[in-house]
Amino acid sequence: MMLKLGVIGTSWITAQFITAAHRTGMYRLTAVYSRHAETAQHFIAESAPAQAYTDMEAFLGSDIDVVYVASPNSLHAAQTIAALSAGKHVIVEKPMVTHPSQLAKLEEALAAHPDLMVFEAARHIYDPNFHAVTDYIAHHPVTGATLAYMKYSSKYDDYLAGKQPNIFTTKTAGGALMDLGVYLVYAAVGWFGVPTTATYQPHMLASGVDGDGVMRFDYPDFGVTLVTGKTTNHFAPSEIYFGRTTLQTDTPGELNYLKLISAGQRTDITAAQHDNPMVSEARFFAEAITKNDRAAFDRQWALAKQVHTLMGQMRAATPIHFDSDPD
Ligand SMILES: NC(=O)c1ccc[n+]([C@@H]2O[C@H](COP(=O)([O-])OP(=O)(O)OC[C@H]3O[C@@H](n4cnc5c(N)ncnc54)[C@H](OP(=O)(O)O)[C@@H]3O)[C@@H](O)[C@H]2O)c1
C-alpha cells in the first residue's frame, strides 16, 4: 500500500523527509500545507507534484493517509491532534510535545481514533548504528556515559543581530533542550532506561530559552552526563563506558561511526547508514502503519512518553518557561 503523504512546514527538513519517504517506495507526496500559497507552490516546484493548501481544514480533509508535521515546536501537539481528529496518521517532528500535559491530550485523541498512529520523528533511534549500540549494551554492563549534541545554529547569527528566529524564542518553544537535548534524552532512555533522577542545568539566553546546558541522569549503577547546545560547536566524541572498554561515536544525534576502544585496541563496529538520515525512520513508520503493527506503535509511544515526561520534569526545575505552558 502506498501512503498518501501530506506535509506541514516547507523548510529544508520537510524536503529531506519527502526525499527519504519517496526513497522507501512506500509514500507519495499528495498535499503541502503552507501559510502562504506562493511558498507552497515554490516548495512543490522544488520537490514533487502535489496539491497546495493554505487552509488547514481543507488540507486535513484532503485525500491523505499520513501527515508529516515540521512546523515550529509550539504547534506540534495541536497540529497532531487536529490531524488525528481528521482521521490521519501523524509523523511529528521532535519535540512531539513541549509540555508533558500535552501527552494526555494526544492520548485522548488517539483513544478516539484507535486505528491511527502517531510517531515522533526522532530519526536517530531508527538508525542502524543506534540499534548496534543497543545490541552491544544488551551483552555488556554499562558503567557510565558522556554524550553530547551541540551545534552552532544557522539561526544564531540572526538571534545575535536582534532578530527572533523561532528556535530561540519562548513563543515557539525553542532552545537547546527542546531542539538537540531531546536527541540525547531519547538516546539515554532508549539505551539505559528511565533514570532514577534527572536534572538539567541550562545556560539561559536573554530571550528566555537555553543556549546550552548539561543534563545529569543517575541510574542505580552508573551516571550519565548529557551536553547540549545551539551556540557553539562540539567536536569531542560521545562515549559509553563499559569498565575498561569504551564505545565511542561522534554524537548520538548522528552516529556516523562506532568505535570500541579496549586495552589500546580500536575496533570499528560502524553499521552501514543511508546518506539521507530520515530513510530508516520513514520506512519504520510506513511499515507500522501499513501492517497495522500496533506492538511497534505501542513500543515507540511508550518511549516517547518516557522521554517527554523526563523533559518536562527537568524543565520544571529550570527558568525555561514557554508562552504555551499551562499556568
Ligand atoms: N529531524 C531533524 O533532523 C530535524 C532537523 C531540523 C528541524 N527539525 C524539526 O522540524 C521542525 C521545523 O524546524 P525548522 O527549523 O524547519 O523550523 P522553521 O523554519 O522555524 O519553521 C518550519 C516551517 O513552519 C512554518 N512556520 C514558520 N514560522 C511559523 C509560525 N510562526 N507559525 C506557523 N508556522 C510557521 C514555515 O512554513 P510555511 O511558511 O510554509 O507556513 C516553516 O517552513 C522543528 O520542530 C524542528 O525541531 C528536525
pLDDT in tens, 14-41: 999 999 999 999 999 999 999 999 999 9
> Backbone phi, then psi, for 23, in 5-degree steps?
-60, -30
Residue whose CA is at the smallest distance from ligand 1 atom 11: 70
Same domain? For 142 and 104 the reply is no
- Per the CB < 8 A criterion, the answer to whether 146 and 220 are in contact is no
All three cell numbers of 124, joined, read 536517530
Same domain? For 246 and 145 the reply is yes
Residue 225 has pLDDT above 90, yes or no: yes
Q: What is the pLDDT of residues 144-158, one digit of tens each?
A: 999 999 999 999 999
- DSSP character for 91? E
Inside any domain, residue 195: yes
pLDDT computed for residue 120 by the predictor: 98
- The position carrying cell 493548501 is 53
pLDDT computed for residue 1 by the predictor: 82
| Strand order across the 258-262 sheet | 197-204, 210-218, 223-229, 144-150, 238-242, 245-249, 258-262, 265-268
pLDDT confidence band for 327 (50 / 70 / 90) = confident
pLDDT computed for residue 45 by the predictor: 98
- Per the CB < 8 A criterion, the answer to whether 94 and 120 are in contact is yes
- Least Cα distance to 185 among 172, 196, 194 occurs for 194
Same domain? For 257 and 141 the reply is yes
- If you average pLDDT over every residue of the chain, what do you get? 98
Same domain? For 112 and 170 the reply is no
pLDDT computed for residue 172 by the predictor: 98
All three cell numbers of 125, joined, read 533511534
How many Å lie between the centroid of ligand 1 and the Cα of residue 142? 37
Q: Helix (H, G, I), strand (E, B), or coil: what is residue 112?
A: helix
> Backbone phi, then psi, for 14, in 5-degree steps?
-65, -40
How many Å lie between the centroid of ligand 1 and the Cα of residue 174? 11
Same domain? For 32 and 143 the reply is no
Q: Which residues pair with 5 in a beta bridge?
A: 29, 66
Inside any domain, residue 302: no
User: Domain boundary residue among 257, 273, 289?
Assistant: 273
Inside any domain, residue 216: yes
Pocket test for ligand 1, best of 73, 93, 153, 278 (most atoms within 8 A of CB): 93
The total domain count for the chain is: 2
Q: What is the pLDDT of residues 43-78, one digit of tens each?
A: 999 999 999 999 999 999 999 999 999 999 999 999
Kind plus residue range of the DSSP H or E element containing 8: strand 3-8
Strands 197-204, 89-93: parallel, antiparallel or unpaired by DSSP? unpaired
pLDDT computed for residue 32 by the predictor: 98
Same domain? For 7 and 95 the reply is yes
Pocket test for ligand 1, best of 10, 12, 13 (most atoms within 8 A of CB): 13
Q: Please report, for the domain that includes residue 268, its CATH number.
A: 3.30.360.10
Same domain? For 100 and 216 the reply is no
Same domain? For 76 and 167 the reply is no
How many Å lie between the centroid of ligand 1 and the Cα of residue 73? 8
- Per the CB < 8 A criterion, the answer to whether 116 and 87 are in contact is yes
Inside any domain, residue 131: yes
Same domain? For 81 and 215 the reply is no
Same domain? For 155 and 238 the reply is yes
Q: Helix (H, G, I), strand (E, B), or coil: what is residue 85?
A: helix
Residue whose CA is at the smallest distance from ligand 1 atom 24: 71
- The position carrying cell 527572533 is 164
Inside any domain, residue 245: yes
| Strand order across the 118-121 sheet | 51-53, 27-33, 3-8, 66-69, 89-93, 118-121
Same domain? For 140 and 261 the reply is yes
User: Domain boundary residue among 87, 118, 149?
Assistant: 118
Residue 268 has pLDDT above 90, yes or no: yes
Strands 3-8, 197-204: parallel, antiparallel or unpaired by DSSP? unpaired
Inside any domain, residue 17: yes
How many Å from the N-terminal Cα to the C-terminal Cα in the chain? 44
> What is the extent of the structural domain holding 75?
3-118
Same domain? For 149 and 11 the reply is no
Q: What is the pLDDT of residues 73-122, one digit of tens each?
A: 999 999 999 999 999 999 999 999 999 999 999 999 999 999 999 999 99
User: Domain boundary residue among 226, 252, 273?
Assistant: 273
Residue 324 has pLDDT above 90, yes or no: yes
Residue 240 has pLDDT above 90, yes or no: yes
Q: Helix (H, G, I), strand (E, B), or coil: what is residue 137?
A: helix
- Per the CB < 8 A criterion, the answer to whether 48 and 29 are in contact is yes
Q: What is the pLDDT of residues 276-307, one digit of tens each?
A: 999 999 999 999 999 999 999 999 999 999 99
- Least Cα distance to 117 among 321, 295, 323 occurs for 295
- Does ligand 1 have an atom closer than 6 angstroms to the CB of 166? yes
Q: Please report, for the domain that includes residue 56, its CATH number.
A: 3.40.50.720
Interatomic CA distance for residues 17 and 279, integer angstroms = 8
How many Å lie between the centroid of ligand 1 and the Cα of residue 14? 8
How many Å lie between the centroid of ligand 1 and the Cα of residue 69? 9
- Least Cα distance to 96 among 116, 124, 118, 112 occurs for 118
All three cell numbers of 36, joined, read 502562504
Inside any domain, residue 133: yes
Residues 6+ apart with CB under 8 A from 120: 92, 93, 94, 95, 96, 300, 304
Inside any domain, residue 294: no
- Does ligand 1 have an atom closer than 6 angstroms to the CB of 22? no
Strands 118-121, 245-249: parallel, antiparallel or unpaired by DSSP? unpaired
| HSE toward the beta carbon, residue 75, CA cutoff 13 A | 12
Over pLDDT 90: what percentage of the chain?
A: 99
- Does ligand 1 have an atom closer than 6 angstroms to the CB of 74? no
